[in-house]
Amino acid sequence: MKKVLLILAVCTALFSVTAFIAKPADDGWVALFDGKTLTNWKVGDHAATFSVQDGTIAVHGETAHLFYDGPIQQHQFKNFEFKADVMTYPGSNSGIYFHTDFQQGGWPAKGYEVQVNNSHTDWRRTGSLYGIQDVKEVYVKDNEWYTEYIKVVGKKVTIKINDKTVVEYTEPENLKREGGDSLRRISSGTFALQGHDPKSEVHFKNIMVKVLPE
């Protein structure tokens, strides 16, 4: 009997995960985070930086990065729309990477970072395409939920904060970057959330993606 119950429990769990990943909305948006677990997400060093709290991914701890590693698009996105609801606390710093790949530790070498920072000492504020096209203005406040949106089509990146466009960047066809920045370019890859430092606390929820045609 115990064995039967165990099999049923496993089947139920598998069905729940399958149901979660298999039902994009009619408009094409699909959730990457189930609001309950870190299923389909992967972190290397300092995994304790990430936890699930009250339906959010809470980021608070040592430098670490949480990568989407699930079955949607086999976690390889090229053209897409991405959005997440974000709340920062005073002095916090974080980021959302795209076109990146899993790393065990360190700062992701591949892809671009979109900044999450309203009051950290780093002057690059929320919405910046970090180090590429930076935003100095503060458009949202700490302790309040806002929506961060990223769209990539071809070589063009659009970033919005609460529906306000703050960055429009088109990567040059003849782009040349060297050294540690050589992989900072449009390609394809997954998303990652950044844990910046132990003094930073940021929460993410309603993490969604819409795959666009290539």
Closest among 77, 40, 41 to 151, alpha carbons compared = 77
The whole-number pLDDT of residue 27 equals 87
Whether pLDDT at 5 is above 70: no
How many other C-beta atoms can be found within 10 angstroms of the C-beta atom of residue 35?
14
What pLDDT band is residue 25 in, cutting at 50, 70 and 90? confident
- 118-176 pLDDT, tens digit per residue, is 999 999 999 999 999 999 999 999 999 999 999 999 999 999 999 999 999 999 999 99
- List all residues 6 or more positions away from 18 whose beta carbon is below 8 Å from its beta carbon: none
- Convert the pLDDT of each residue in 78-132 to its tens digit: 999 999 999 999 999 999 999 999 999 999 999 999 999 999 999 999 999 999 9
82 near 98, Cβ under 8 Å?
Answer: yes
pTM above 0.75, yes or no: yes
What is the distance between the alpha carbons of residues 200 and 62, in angstroms, rounded to a whole number? 9
Other CB atoms within 10 A of residue 89 CB: 15
d(CA 134, CA 115): 9
Scan for tokens 């406040």, then name that residue: 141
pLDDT at 21 over 60: no
C-alpha angle 51-54-55 in degrees, rounded to nearest 5: 80
pLDDT value at position 23? 64
Tens-digit pLDDT profile for residues 185-206 = 999 999 999 999 999 999 999 9
* Residue 2 phi, psi dihedral angles, 5° rounding: -60, -40
